[in-house]
Structure 1
Amino acid sequence: MTAASTGTGTVPDTSFMVDRAYFTDRDVWRRELDGIFKRSWLLVAHESEVPSPGDYVTRRMGTDEVIVSRSEGGEIKVLLNACTHRGTLLCKADTGNTAHFRCGYHGWTFANDGSLRGVPRGRELYGPGFDKGAFALRGARVATFYGLIFATFDQELCSLAEYLGDMRFYLECMLNVSGAGTAAPYGSYRFTHLGNWKLEADNLAGDGYHLRHAHRAGFDMGIMGAQAGAVEGVCVQFERGHALRAQRAAGSEPGLRFPGYPQERWPEIAERLSPDQARMFSDSSVVHGLVFPNMAWVHTPRAGGFDPGEPEAAMFQLRLFNPIGPEETEETNWLVTPADYDDAWKASAFKTMQRQHGATSFFESDDLENFRRMLQPAGGRVGRELLKSNFDLATGSEPFKPWFSGPGRIVGSDVSEVNQRWFYRTYLAWMEAGK
């Protein structure tokens, strides 16, 4: 790969290959942590996971362990999970509620806002001039977007709103459907798997080519819902490497319909979204995409083949990919719903997510197996030298006028690798700039 600008429309969409070392090399992985993850706004949690003072969850930002806490004053904090005395891991639980975090090594105690409150024999051993303020937990910058909590340790990085840019137009279609805001009613779950984090990122950025091959069983079983019918779709690219792929039922009649949502709520959805957002989201069959570098999502109405009597419920799944190593990824998943929808609707949406996109569902089993198998040939010396990952599908596709007016470079090619090419060109530009 060669360096390229990260501005949409500035790079010719031509033939593109990626060296396999980018998926297996430990030096590349270490460079990513500095050149990509330290320079990005990263998703860490949903506000509903820490609703009350003292609530906390532990997460990763790249490979850095952090505590996402709500302080006694109600402020959301993202703190490096390491005692400032000797660097010991401070909080070992995944979730809980506490006013203080106490280090198990020497007993230093920190409030849940990160301030140092207690040092055993501190005045005696450190003297009366000891500055507790200098030893507060290291905190990240924090910003939220419709309930999603993002953080960065880069003090010079632009605001989250600027970082998301025009991607906000599309994310709002799924996050702004109710005046009550959003919730993650079932919390989150994490698992690890073999495979480089970029394989999932480029897949969710816009890979429609693999569906009827890798996921053929889903089509044969009749559980693909609207995705199995006639559809039309687009791929869209944005500044900073963000990308998405959107489909809707082909030949849809004029009008605003939001399958998967209660029909009595359709007027509210249309009112909350802009006219162009409503047209984009109307008759949607699937929308999936990536906020660079490692936050992805899948939105789809309820698929077919499930239990009779369940309410139809759209699934909006958030995913986070953290690179534990070049060949191992930790994934965190959330179901995000309108906060005020009833429990039966939320339960149906959760079942859809678990059946179709859960850690052991048919979709994920197919994909994770392919991600693992993609690493095997790259581990051989000849395979690593002779094989490159090819992203030539539908090169040179022209910008396209779709069924809606929206921002970004919109390409009228539902099955394409234009978004993957965009992701890797941005990735390399950041890696080169971070040298």
Structure 2
Amino acid sequence: MTSLAELTSNPDELIRQDRVRTPLYTDPAIFEAEMTKIFHNTWVWVAHVSEIPNNGDFKMAQVGLEPVIVVRDRKGEVHVHLNRCRHRAATLCEVRKGKTSSFVCPYHGWGYSLDGKLRGVPYENGYNEEQIDRSKLSLKSLRVEEYNGLLFATFRDDIEPLADFLGPAKKWIDLFMKQGGGYPVKTLGEHKFRFPGNWKIQLENTTDAYHFPLVHKSFLTAVDKETEQQLDMLNNGGFVEDLGNGHSVMVMIPELIDLDDNLEAPIPEKFADLAKELAAEGYSDTDVRRIVRAVGGSGFNINLFPNLACSMAFFRVLQPISVNETEIRHIAIGMDGGPAAANRARIRLHEFFQGPMGFGSPDDAEVWDRVQHGAKGGEDMWIMLHRGLNKEDSLPDGRHRSDVSAETGMRAAYDQWKRMMTV
């Protein structure tokens, strides 16, 4: 039997509560099924509202393997259209982001308004009315909903509302967005790269504190002592919690869960110069403390199944390319209308860990590569996800929580994966 057939007929042979089989990383048939059963049947993150702030602004994205355009129309409404002309399937857009008043196919000139309606067909007298009913030839549009600036799209019209899908994760998203320091959060730029591995390898990483002191040892030796102690996350009382529907949160620095709490705490030495600069610009002591605290980022990571992580101080977006290749986008976030000095400090921190020459992302990508390479051997062996299971607490609604080094987040993601893949 193929592994995909086994998944349908006897799923416990491939995936159990505390372990999964290697073909989940390596089987092309499973990958193809994931693109339909998961990415076609759930809410997928496509943009942050600050990426398309004005009418006519657009950006390209993908839902699974399907290219889409995220655009704000003339009335300010957000649409997500399949990036495909209704005539002969050519892509309408190949520009990563920009501003436009319409979309025109470069092949035969069919033109569409920002809301997706077909508006123009060159030499239209070559068709009769039945052949060119414009009301039936609009762009294929996905359902789109927003939560606290995060835009999600889905191919399914009958799916549950986004707020229900996010469930307990909403609380953590709200806390994460306090990184605006009293200003709206906005995207500042991004670093994009690919690694030769399956998308689920990265999905597992976001709520995996167990690897941090090992993989990121070089980073920890490069920071100041105060930061090093703060990031001693395996000894600081953190936890991992299943948030339902495959989502999870990993709290690494409990005192930084709510950035509005404990503003009277001493300002870290590494931000002393920033605090002085903000004070010299006329910001009140309370505002200086709120902004500086926000610059340092939140003390937790959120994993939003299947493709978005809100990770301490940035968005991490995973994009499956093939069974053994994944694209990662690390999107820096800052304060819209906030002090330039604070946003500069955010960018410098982002570069230090997430940048292409940073101390974090290259090390992560190396071990992700090694996982995929190692998975080429021993296809019948299990990938173990049982850490912390014996210490896991059950919450009143059936979800689970364990210590920060536990693999609770991975078990939550694979539980949702199994539900969707075996329907």
Pair in the same fold by TM > 0.5? yes
Classify the TM-score, shorter chain. 0.7 to 0.9
User: How large is the Cα RMSD of the aligned pairs?
Assistant: 3.0
2:251 to 246, 250, 261: 246
Determine the structure 1 residue equivalent to 2:231.
Answer: 227
How far has the Cα of 1:217 moved from its partner? 1.2
Determine whether 1:288 maps to 2:282.
no
1:169-195: CA deviations, max 9, x gaps? 1111121465643211x2444322211
Determine the structure 1 residue equivalent to 2:12.
Answer: none
Q: Distance in 2 between matches of 1:111 and 1:284?
A: 40
Give 1:245-394 correspondences, 5 Å limit: 245-248=250-253, 256-257=261-262, 264-265=286-287, 286-299=299-312, 316-380=313-377, 383-385=378-380, 387-394=381-388
Letter in 2 for 1:413: D
8 Å Cα contact 1:235-1:243 kept in structure 2: yes
1:418 to 401, 408, 414: 408
How far has the Cα of 1:285 moved from its partner? 6.8
Q: Distance in 2 between matches of 1:408 and 1:101?
A: 47
Determine the structure 1 residue equivalent to 2:3.
Answer: none
Q: Distance in 1 between matches of 2:315 and 2:21?
A: 29
**Structure 2 length normalisation: TM-score?**
0.83
Going from structure 1 to structure 2, the CA distance change for 1:284 and 1:84 (only over 3 Å counts) comes to closer
Q: Distance in 2 between matches of 1:352 and 1:75?
A: 34
Going from structure 1 to structure 2, the CA distance change for 1:407 and 1:174 (only over 3 Å counts) comes to farther
How far has the Cα of 1:284 moved from its partner? 8.4
Give 1:23-422 correspondences, 5 Å limit: 23-122=25-124, 124-129=125-130, 130-176=132-178, 180-184=183-187, 186-204=188-206, 206-222=207-223, 224-225=227-228, 226-228=230-232, 231-248=236-253, 256-257=261-262, 264-265=286-287, 286-299=299-312, 316-380=313-377, 383-385=378-380, 387-399=381-393, 409=399, 411-422=401-412
1:353-389: CA deviations, max 9, x gaps? 1211234422111111111111113224xx223x321
8 Å Cα contact 1:169-1:407 kept in structure 2: no
Determine whether 1:431 maps to 2:421.
yes
Letter in 1 for 2:388: A
Going from structure 1 to structure 2, the CA distance change for 1:154 and 1:374 (only over 3 Å counts) comes to same
8 Å Cα contact 1:243-1:289 kept in structure 2: yes
Where do 5+ consecutive residues of structure 1 fail to align?
4-13, 270-280, 300-315
Q: Distance in 2 between matches of 1:375 and 1:266?
A: 45
Secondary structure in 2 aligned to 1:238?
strand
How far has the Cα of 1:267 moved from its partner? 9.0
How far has the Cα of 1:228 moved from its partner? 3.4
How far has the Cα of 1:427 moved from its partner? 1.0
Secondary structure in 1 aligned to 2:140?
coil
Letter in 1 for 2:164: E
Going from structure 1 to structure 2, the CA distance change for 1:79 and 1:15 (only over 3 Å counts) comes to closer
Letter in 2 for 1:365: P
Q: Distance in 1 between matches of 2:115 and 2:150?
A: 19
Q: Distance in 2 between matches of 1:78 and 1:31?
A: 23
How far has the Cα of 1:71 moved from its partner? 1.1
Secondary structure in 2 aligned to 1:82?
coil
8 Å Cα contact 2:333-2:346 kept in structure 1: no
Letter in 2 for 1:428: K
Q: Distance in 1 between matches of 2:250 and 2:397?
A: 13
Going from structure 1 to structure 2, the CA distance change for 1:432 and 1:86 (only over 3 Å counts) comes to same
Secondary structure in 1 aligned to 2:35?
helix
How far has the Cα of 1:246 moved from its partner? 0.4
How far has the Cα of 1:249 moved from its partner? 5.8
Letter in 2 for 1:291: L
Where do 5+ consecutive residues of structure 2 fail to align?
1-5, 9-15, 276-284
1:236-257: CA deviations, max 9, x gaps? 102201101102368x9xx932
Going from structure 1 to structure 2, the CA distance change for 1:284 and 1:342 (only over 3 Å counts) comes to closer
8 Å Cα contact 2:40-2:156 kept in structure 1: yes
Going from structure 1 to structure 2, the CA distance change for 1:78 and 1:142 (only over 3 Å counts) comes to same
How far has the Cα of 1:197 moved from its partner? 0.9
How far has the Cα of 1:396 moved from its partner? 2.2
Q: How many residues align?
A: 383
Q: Distance in 1 between matches of 2:7 and 2:42?
A: 21
Secondary structure in 2 aligned to 1:324?
strand
Secondary structure in 2 aligned to 1:73?
coil
Q: Distance in 2 between matches of 1:408 and 1:265?
A: 40
Determine the structure 2 residue equivalent to 1:276.
Answer: none
Determine the structure 2 residue equivalent to 1:313.
Answer: none
**Structure 1 length normalisation: TM-score?**
0.81
8 Å Cα contact 1:321-1:332 kept in structure 2: yes
Q: Distance in 1 between matches of 2:361 and 2:303?
A: 17
Letter in 2 for 1:289: I
Secondary structure in 1 aligned to 2:379?
helix
Secondary structure in 2 aligned to 1:191?
strand
8 Å Cα contact 2:389-2:402 kept in structure 1: no
Going from structure 1 to structure 2, the CA distance change for 1:338 and 1:408 (only over 3 Å counts) comes to farther
